[in-house]
Chains A and B, each alone.
Chain A
Amino acid sequence: MEDLKEHLKAFDLPVRARACYQCGACAGGCPVGRYRWDFNPRRFIETIVRGRLEELVGNPAIWLCSHCLTCLERCPQQIEVSEIIMHVKNASARRGLAPENDVKMADRIMTHGWSEEPIKRILKKRSQLGLPEPAPGISVDELEALALSLSWAAKMEIFKPRPAEPETDGNPAE
């Protein structure tokens, strides 16, 4: 539970969620909630306010948030719903529950500096268009120093990619 305690201490999620009076404007405007009934930002906030953060951390649906910020714009109390969900995802990642793609991409950035490099075909197109080579990026030495400082290797042990969720047709078991 260290992960949760640490997050509660640093980001005070229940206090930030407490102003919610469950009007549902966030859920009404949510583009993901239109398609997936199990993604309901109002219920996520309710879960936190009721002290059941633990339950939310283990709910795979939180990873569907597209971070479009419609909820924040619509919220009469200006609760940072997406940001709260993001911190819950951080706690969830510390249980090894993050989607495989996210983990792979983040690790590529921490080890190479970029999520992807231009392939040969793109480099050729760049030169045909008269574009310069992409500017050289962050050095390996700097990346290693940062990874060490951030304890990245230990974090990756915990983040270890999990396989994608099986097909659920939007009706996962609660």
Chain B
Amino acid sequence: MTTDNEYRFFPGCLIRARLPHIEKSARLVLERLGVTLSDMEGASCCPNPVYFRDLDHEAWLTLAARNLAIAEKPMMTLCSGCYSTFRDAEHALDERPDLKQKVGGHLERLGLKVPSGSRVEHFARFLCEQVGPAALAERVVRPLKGLKVVFHPGCHLVRPSRTHAFDDPDNPTRLEELVWALGAEVLDYPRKMLCCGFTVMGADKDLSLRMGFDKLRIMKEAGAQAVVLICPSCMVQLDRNQRLIEQEFNTELSLPVFYLTELIGLALGESPDDLGLGLHLVNVRPLVEELLGPEADGDSSAPDQESDA
């Protein structure tokens, strides 16, 4: 942890615009674990490490450098895409004096200087490295006994491994240990590192849905009752687009998808209502009731109705 344990809160565009329940669970859990999240005024999109960088590397690097420059303190992001943009941008600015000079020229017009050093933390990496499974287990008041989940690590927290250096890029397991610490069982499954397909949506929607379908189908076949993940793009693809995938492939999946912070929140005693679990598009309610018993009652809200494709 940083000495004062304060981070600039950088939820990322998808959570800010579409997934308030993830922001809620992250704030609840991180604050319970002693983190102070302060608002970051004047920020922009990170911007996106795929479609924006694909279009114009220089503009991408400039906006990313500006966010890093105005943060002043380390940022805590809830999104693997933002994490990837900031880590890659820091790396590019370190390695390439020519790019640093170019970006410096753009930032100068705003009265800003190119930042140096590392200024970004991913919430899941923080939970792993600064809290850890043992300390997390001590705080569990409602063990998630009997729950069988699969973990979907996504691409950008662990890759590229030579700069991110967080976990095995082909079979990451450190985050699964956090889920074990909550009392749940984490199942092994084939093709764990298969991309969810979200980023292909703009170029080929059919392909994107196909990738999402295969991912969900393999997870279901492995016996999972739910998916746990750490990236809002994966969340949109596997939860909010799941109904679309079901229609496209004429099948029923009904596989609930949790953000890691939501599952931790439940185990630490937060109520499903406070966590906003009614905002999931795939109904998580039957599973949560099975886990928590009648105390989960009280939230009458039906699951959300809109997909995001």
Contact = CB atoms under 8 A, between A and B. Distances in A.
Interface of A: 10, 31-32, 35-36, 63-70, 72-73, 78, 80, 86-87, 89-90, 93, 98-99, 101-103, 105-106, 109-110, 113-119, 122, 125-126, 129-132, 134-139, 142-143, 145-146, 148-150, 152, 155, 159, 165
Interface in B1-58: 9, 13, 16-18, 20-21, 23-24, 27, 39-45, 47-58
A136 to B, nearest CB: 5
B159 interface: yes
A99 B202 contact: yes
Interface string B92-103: 000000100000
6 contacts: A66-B198, A73-B170, A86-B54, A102-B202, A126-B23, A149-B62
Given A69-B159, A72-B159, A138-B42, A35 B211 contact: yes
B244 interface: no
Contact of A110 (B53, B59, B105): B59
Nearest to B52: A106
Contact of A122 (B18, B55, B160): B18
B59 A102 contact: no
Given A31-B211, A150-B106, A67 B49 contact: yes
A92 B300 CA distance: 51
B45 A64 contact: no
Contacts of A116: 13, 17-18
Contact of B207 (A64, A109, A117): A64
B200 A146 contact: no
A139 B9 CA distance: 18
A89 B55 contact: yes
Given A136-B41, A138-B43, A149-B109, A106 B51 contact: yes
A134 B41 CA distance: 9
Given A67-B49, A114-B16, A146-B110, A31 B195 contact: yes
A86 B98 contact: no
A130 B210 CA distance: 37
Interface in B136-163: 155-156, 159-162
Contact of A69 (B110, B155, B200, B207): B155
Contacts, number: 185
Smallest CB-CB A-B distances: 5 pairs: A101-B202, A69-B159, A68-B195, A135-B39, A102-B51
B238 to A, nearest CB: 15
B106 A137 contact: no
Interface in B168-205: 169-170, 193-195, 197-204
Nearest to B203: A63
A127 to B, nearest CB: 9
Contact of B162 (A32, A70, A78): A78
Interface of B: 9, 13, 16-18, 20-21, 23-24, 27, 39-45, 47-59, 62-63, 66, 98, 105-106, 109-110, 155-156, 159-162, 169-170, 193-195, 197-204, 207, 210-211, 274, 276, 279
Nearest to B43: A137
A36, A73, A87, A159, most chain B CB atoms within 10 A: A73
B42 A93 contact: no
A102 to B, nearest CB: 4
Contacts of A126: 20, 23
Contact of A93 (B17, B56, B170): B56
Nearest to A169: B206
B58 A150 contact: yes
Given A35-B211, A73-B169, A125-B276, A115 B48 contact: yes
Contacts of B170: 73
Contact of A105 (B9, B27, B52): B52
Given A78-B162, A137-B43, A138-B43, A149 B52 contact: no
Given A66-B199, A137-B42, A137-B44, A101 B159 contact: no
